[in-house]
Structure 1
Amino acid sequence: MLSRRTLLAGSALTLLAGCSSAPPAPGPAPVPVPARPTAPRDPVTVQRMPSAAPGRDVDLVLITPSGVPAAGLPVCLALHGRGAQARTFLTLGVPALLTAAVQAGVPPFAIAAVDGDHYWVDVGGGDDPQRMLAEEVPGWLAARDLRPPSAVFGISMGGFGALRFARAHPDLKAVATASAALFLSWPDARGRKVFADEANWRAAEPLLHTGELHPAGLGVWCGESDPFLSADRKLAKAVSPAVARFTPGGHKDEYWRGILPEVLKFVGQRLA
């Protein structure tokens, strides 16, 4: 039988790993992959896509503002946290929040979320999430009459991945992170049991490559009770992003739901 101390320790480790506290996200059943280019007809669609980069099928979740034609919309990638999935953005209420933002005057855009793992970087083992984002996702979007990604937003582990994606794609118009799971040292990163070795982590860690990030299109959000607060403050100090918000909140869904309207406005205004 597990002791109370063991249960508490397990809960703390889950928090620090950057996992979402939400259960598996709901959403519509996957629909068939289109045989020819066709724009999404519903504000939310989920399709199961075979991906060569990770060597498995992944969910592609597309979210567009309700009442706005989807064809030709600019796209923001959405990268989830560790232990979560693409459908997590549905649990967080992104469809309604995106529609509300557009109705309030934010230029319309689409959000594309896909399933990913191990901090959205190649740590060996034949799974390369960055290659999926760069080489496969644009084709999936084109087949739905959407533009290639021109922005990226990530939560926790997804924040790490978003910054890694931004380094390789300096032409992005907006990069936003919420509670980005960044690491101040190799011992911190090694404790996640994700990276192959120190060299693998050093090649990917955003805090070691801040000179490759562009401040004008970067927005950083983090709660003041978040275990990654110090690392995110270091990022903001090094890059001087266009937006740096450190407000009350922890590493949990409630905080992310609270800042999402501001994040969506930040992204939409830069995509216009």
Structure 2
Amino acid sequence: MPEAPPPRLGRRRVLRAGGAVVGLGAAGAVGWELAPPSFTERLLGKLGIEPEAFVPDAPEGEVRLERVTSAAMGELDLFTAVPAGHGDGAGLPVVVVLHGASATAADLRGFGFGRFVTAAVEAGAPPFVLAGTDDGPAGWVASGDVDPPRMLRDELPGWLAERGFDGGRRALWGWSRGGYGALRFVTQTPDWARALALFSPALGPDDQVLSDLDVLTDLPWGLWCGEWDPFREGSVALAAAAPVAPDPWVSGEGGHTRAYWNSHTLEMLDGLARSL
């Protein structure tokens, strides 16, 4: 059974929580940069502020977690979320999400992603489906006999089409290790995605991927990374090395945390949906 979604929270509590996070961050930037995300989230908890406080107060539509068999990876989970009011999502384009190292596809509902999809559409984004799978032992790069890029390229579009979605219209979003995997994937498969969104991609300023970013000349892309994120230098280097600057390039107070990513997810999904 998938993890139960977090409780729905009203706008007033979301705004109070957001203000508290900004105040906390201004006082403790250095500590946040050096601390692992788990420490940051425990600190938020002591203040009564959970990352779920940034999940929008919107209903889920049809949310599924299914087991699929991949020739490239073996057994894995496939998560899909259709916005409320759009039935089973037939004919809708897809935003594919690549999760970070500490997550799996089974966690995506618990992160509130079904609600984010509905909230983005209710706010004016063209309707779309969100879909995500598990990664491999080395993340979203090939390792031994496990090949996540091959799965994304050759198998995921067919799984999406089998469920009635428009598997030919795809955008790609990744956070942390998933952000790095998404960047690597589009450099290797440049025609796969119509747009790209990267949240705090886990790369350093000297990573080899920065030497071959020609795909970003014609691919709409955006970049989000907080000022206290441990991968901040890599994001700055990525923005500087790209042939076309990210639009948007969002910084601001925040670390490598779900609270920061959640606070920017609606704006990101709106941009990706419009690209489809």
Q: Same fold (TM over 0.5)?
A: yes
Deviation at 1:267, TM superposition (A): 0.7
Partner of residue 265, structure 1: 270
Structure 2: distance between partners of 1:48 and 1:211: 36
Q: Which among 197, 204, 226 is matched to residue 176 of structure 1?
A: 197
Of 243, 250, 255 in structure 1, the residue corresponding to residue 255 of structure 2 is 250
Gaps of 5+ in 2: 1-30, 42-60
Change (3 A) 1:266 1:81: same
CA distance in 2, matches of 1:184, 1:134: 27
Q: Contact 1:19/1:83 (CA < 8 Å) preserved in 2? A: no
* Runs of 5+ consecutive residues of structure 1 not aligned to the other structure: 1-11, 23-41, 187-204
Residue 226 (structure 2) aligns with: 223
Identical counterparts, % of pairs: 38
The answer on 1:63 being equivalent to 2:81 is yes
Structure 2 residue 262 is the aligned partner of structure 1 residue 241: no
| Partner Cα distance (1:183, 1:219) in 2 | 18
The aligned amino acid for 2:256 is H
Question: 1:269 Cα shift?
Answer: 1.3
1:152 aligned residue: 172
Amino acid at match of 1:47: E
Provide the alpha-carbon RMSD of the alignment. 2.6
Shift of 1:266: 1.2
Report the CA distance between 1:213 and its aligned residue.
2.2
CA distances 1:36-92 after superposition (whole Å, capped 9, x unpaired): xxxxxx5201101111212x2111000111111400100111000012111333232
Contact 1:82–1:118, Cα closer than 8 Å, also in 2: no
Q: Give the match for residue 164 of structure 1.
A: 184
- Whole-Å Cα distance in 1 between the matches of residues 148 and 257 of structure 2? 24
Q: 1:231–1:73: structure 2 CA closer, same or farther, 3 Å change rule? A: same
| One-letter amino acid of the structure 2 residue matched with residue 181 of structure 1 | A
1:95 lines up with 2:100 in the alignment: no
Report the counterpart of residue 35 of structure 1 in structure 2: none
Return closer, same or farther for 1:21/1:154 CA change in 2, 3 Å cut-off: farther
Q: State the Cα deviation string for residues 184-239 of structure 1 (Å, max 9, x = none).
A: 347xxxxxxxxxxxxxxxxxx43232223236510100011100001001111222
Contact 2:142 2:148 survives alignment (8 Å): no
